[in-house]
Copies of this chain bind each other. A is one copy, B any other.
Amino acid sequence: MSQPIYDRVALIGLGLIASSMFWAIKRAGLAKEVTGYARSQATRDTARQIGLCDRICDSAAEAAEGADLVVLCVPVGVMGAVAQEIAPVLKPGATISDVGSVKRHVIDAVTPFVPEGVHFIPAHPLAGTEHSGPESGFAELYDNRWCLLVPVEGSDRAAVEKLRALWEGIGANVEEMDADHHDLVLAVTSHAPHLIAYTMVGVADDLRRVTDSEVIKYSAAGFRDFTRIAASDPTMWRDVFLSNKDATLEILGRFTEELFALQRAIRTGDGDHLFDYFTRTRAIRRGIIEAGQDTDAPDFGRGKAKS
């Protein structure tokens, strides 16, 4: 057990990210008390039943009041509204942070409501599963994953270091990044891949001449790798695309351009172009294995899944 870093942490929104944060904070003893709030009564009931948070409150303001750190774990599209709601109760010297997948939009939406004397330090932990809701969390989610801190102009260094210590205590590796660069990097590594996966799964679902049951049966041939990310939370992802519009559309434009070039190579029978392209992409995969961001175990251990 570490020394507590904050006396009280408030988690607003109780999905996969917040519930995993709670279990990881408890695992390492990083806060004396963690309060929680979710908009839906059913989620609050579930949270109480499974012991998620030390205290579940019936309003965001109640959860945030007196907290040293308030973390907004709600979809990007409602960050501003929640910030407005809790602003009046934030205590001087407190830190407000978030876990949104887009940073420029969140900064624009939240900043106007941050009271004088409160530190706003946006953050984005790069971890997730296809599951959502208060029961989907687990303490190990952030182990060896990255958490990006995106301090805004004038962020208090001591407050930033405290938040960094929390995320490191939760298991993550922490880096700092500028908001616009964050949004571009994430458009490449996350937002565009998600949209592409959603698209491919939608196409497969919609073909008249191939049935869904065939798609499902024969998914191990490659398609399966797309379905995990295409099963992610629809509300969260709708908000991500709408709030990181420019960077996502830029990457998708590049993607379409390259795809057309490869389609043309197929159509004209240009095997050399295909071979060279496919050879180049292998190096990226090796880098990911070496960086410890994936395992090279055959089939990711999926071979053990039995019907």
Contacts and interface: CB of A to CB of B under 8 A. Distances in A.
A281 B241 contact: no
Given A263-B252, A267-B249, A220 B293 contact: yes
Interface string A266-307: 110101001101111111111110011111101111111111
A200 interface: yes
A269 B242 contact: yes
A159 interface: no
Interface in A157-207: 175, 181, 184-186, 188-207
**Interface of chain A: mostly helix, strand, loop or mixed:** helix
Interface residues of A, number: 118
B238 A195 contact: no
Contacts of A5: none
In the A-B complex, list the 3 residue pairs whose CB atoms are closest, starting with the nearest: A292-B307, A190-B221, A231-B285
Contacts of A249: 263, 266-267
Interface of A: 77, 101, 126-131, 136, 138, 140-141, 143-146, 148, 175, 181, 184-186, 188-207, 209-210, 212-232, 234-235, 237-239, 241-242, 245, 248-249, 251-252, 254-256, 258-259, 262-263, 266-267, 269, 271, 274-275, 277-288, 291-296, 298-307
